[in-house]
């Protein structure tokens, strides 16, 4: 057995947008390479040992002595899949925060791009497919991936199709719960207030946190933690926007400014910023590095985050309790949406996860599909996500329950399990209820009740994305540029002086619409019909 901020931010955004836009045309270089070898799938012949290159997210969190390309799971893959098939599996790290940017660069170079790549953004997938940059894998799945096809099912596979052809293999999302919010109960007790249950109550609570400074923090006091990341700004935005159809919104990305109520959300954020109620330098914190530090040091009274993100062993909550022993955090459902009967509206994920793709230039498409099929076979997916039974976890009523008392080196085996087991987003062990039970059981026992409450809140009054039967062309053309512009729009409208808000908002929205927002809005509205 083989023993988990600078002054140049504006230039960065501009450079990022330029790189992404250029990436569209650069794909031509990818699709022109060795058409014959790609079409034949590059099957291994004559016992020749080949190399299969697989993308992996690098979050910069590898515990010593592991690295992102040399750890327990990379060795597990090599031993269980690579060696029996005469394949050297080589992992190519891509920073999670630069997922699309780096992928555009890789896709432009047939010699550098991995044989397996992936992306969460459907518009990026459609763009690659439409420009001929991806291998059609329908027949490869039929020939080499019976386990994978059974695991995913026909309905889920459709998410990776374009005009009836299979250009991506969707990951299966274990659960659709997305975001939750947390508040310092000890701060509430000190200011003599109950947990807020409406947006207005939340605002009054944040003002009390600032004025009364229950943590005795002075200038370090942050009533509401904020970063330039979806888990923070989307939770706020969804509490103001109006659904476009039957409890559905457009996809939860750069389409947000096209919803009624978006301006109200930006005006509320502007109010919070100008009154000193949110993290002052949130615009420089896309990686949430400062947000994490501030939370762990006890400086934040309220914040939103991905469900469970703060609850992992030795994670944000555990570190807060070590640093501030008398602190206490509770889950809270504070935001209400006046456009939807004052419900606690929040977004949920679609049933598909990431889009797993094989570039057209790959000579190892057969091996790539076989690797994904191997992952869906037997207990491989479970072991990649959960580790070794009896050492990392115990199986209880069909649910893998993590062993809290496992030695640290045993826990570290699977520090990157979620990023290696790419055919699953989360622990897929059965239906949604079973997956949620498995997810909860994966947290330290001390945090499981809070995790259960977090999931319940995250599943309340959710709104899902509209799933269209064909790609939205404007997403492929303008998606990456609009995604960057959304961040600029959020920052500039938030930081504007209250008297200048209207003018700044109008200018930034005009820019957004001129960058492709107008065409996107027109096409989305037509597609709804």
State the burial class of residue 456 (Cβ atoms within 10 Å of its Cβ: 0-12, 13-18, 19+): middle
State the burial class of residue 21 (Cβ atoms within 10 Å of its Cβ: 0-12, 13-18, 19+): middle
pTM over 0.95: no
Distance CA 167, CA 157 (A): 10
Which 8-state DSSP code applies to residue 513? I
pLDDT at 100: 87
- Residue 200 has, within 13 A of its CA and on its CB side, a CA count of 2
With CA atoms as reference, report the closest residue to 147 among 314, 344, 328, 380: 380
* Full DSSP string of 469-504: SS--HHHHHHHHHHHHHHHHHHHHHHHS-GGGHHHH
429 φ/ψ sector (left φ>0, alpha ψ -120 to 50, else beta): alpha
pLDDT in tens, 182-207: 999 999 999 999 999 999 999 999 99
- Which residues are 399's β-sheet partners? 396
pLDDT at 46: 63
pLDDT in tens, 55-87: 999 999 999 999 999 999 999 999 999 999 999
Contact (CB, 8 A) for 195 and 330: yes
pLDDT grade, residue 216 (50/70/90)?
very high
Mean pLDDT of 40-63: 80
Element (H, E) at 303: strand 300-306
Mean pLDDT of 385-409: 91
pLDDT at 41: 41
CB atoms within 10 A of CB 161: 17
Element (H, E) at 58: strand 50-58
Q: Which residue has tokens 């062309």?
A: 473
Which 8-state DSSP code applies to residue 516? I
């Amino acid at each position: 057995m083989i023993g988990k901020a600078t002054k140049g931010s504006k230039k960065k955004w501009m450079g990022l947008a330029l790189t992404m836009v250029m990436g569209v045309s650069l794909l031509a270089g990818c699709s022109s390479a060795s058409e014959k070898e790609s079409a034949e799938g590059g099957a291994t012949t004559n016992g020749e040992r080949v190399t299969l290159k697989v993308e992996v997210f690098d979050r910069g969190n590898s515990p010593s002595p592991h690295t992102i390309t040399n750890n327990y799971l990379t060795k597990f893959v090599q031993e269980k899949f690579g060696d029996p098939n005469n394949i050297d599996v080589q992992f190519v790290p891509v920073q999670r925060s630069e997922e699309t940017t780096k992928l555009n660069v890789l896709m432009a170079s047939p010699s550098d791009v991995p044989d397996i790549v992936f992306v969460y953004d459907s518009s990026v997938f459609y763009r690659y497919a439409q420009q001929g940059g991806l291998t059609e894998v329908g027949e490869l799945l039929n020939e080499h991936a019976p386990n994978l096809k059974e695991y995913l099912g026909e309905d889920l596979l459709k998410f990776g199709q374009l005009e009836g052809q299979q250009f991506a293999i969707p990951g299966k999302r274990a659960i659709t719960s997305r975001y939750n919010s947390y508040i310092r109960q000890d701060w509430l007790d000190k200011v003599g207030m109950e947990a807020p249950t409406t947006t207005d109550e939340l605002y009054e609570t944040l003002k009390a946190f600032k004025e009364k400074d229950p943590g005795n923090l002075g200038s370090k006091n942050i009533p509401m933690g904020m970063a330039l990341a979806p888990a923070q700004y989307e939770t706020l935005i969804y509490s103001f926007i109006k659904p476009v159809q039957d409890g559905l919104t457009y996809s939860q990305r750069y389409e947000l400014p096209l919803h009624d109520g978006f301006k109200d959300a930006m005006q509320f954020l502007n109010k919070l910023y100008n009154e000193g109620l949110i993290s002052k330098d949130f615009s420089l914190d896309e990686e949430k590095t400062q947000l994490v530090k501030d939370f762990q040091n006890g400086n934040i009274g309220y914040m939103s985050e991905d469900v469970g993100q703060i609850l992992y062993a030795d994670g944000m909550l555990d570190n807060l309790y070590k640093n501030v022993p008398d602190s206490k955090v509770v889950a809270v459902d504070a935001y209400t949406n006046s456009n939807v009967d004052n419900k606690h509206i929040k977004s949920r994920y679609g049933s598909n996860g990431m889009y797993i793709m094989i570039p057209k230039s790959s000579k190892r498409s057969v091996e790539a599909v076989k690797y994904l099929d191997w992952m869906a076979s037997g207990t491989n997916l479970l072991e990649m996500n959960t580790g070794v039974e009896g050492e990392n976890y115990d199986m209880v009523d069909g649910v893998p329950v993590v062993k809290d008392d496992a030695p640290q080196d045993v826990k570290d085996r699977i520090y990157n399990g979620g990023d290696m087991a790419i055919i699953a987003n989360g622990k897929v062990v059965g239906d949604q209820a079973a997956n949620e039970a498995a997810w909860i059981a994966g947290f330290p026992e001390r945090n499981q009740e809070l995790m259960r409450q977090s999931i319940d809140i995250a599943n309340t009054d959710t709104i899902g994305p509209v799933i269209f039967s064909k790609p939205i062309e404007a997403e492929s053309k303008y998606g990456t540029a609009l995604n960057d512009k959304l961040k600029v729009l959020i920052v500039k409208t938030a930081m504007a002086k209250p008297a200048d808000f209207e003018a700044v908002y109008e200018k930034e929205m005009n820019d957004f619409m001129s960058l492709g927002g107008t065409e996107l809005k027109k096409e989305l509205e037509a597609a709804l019909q």
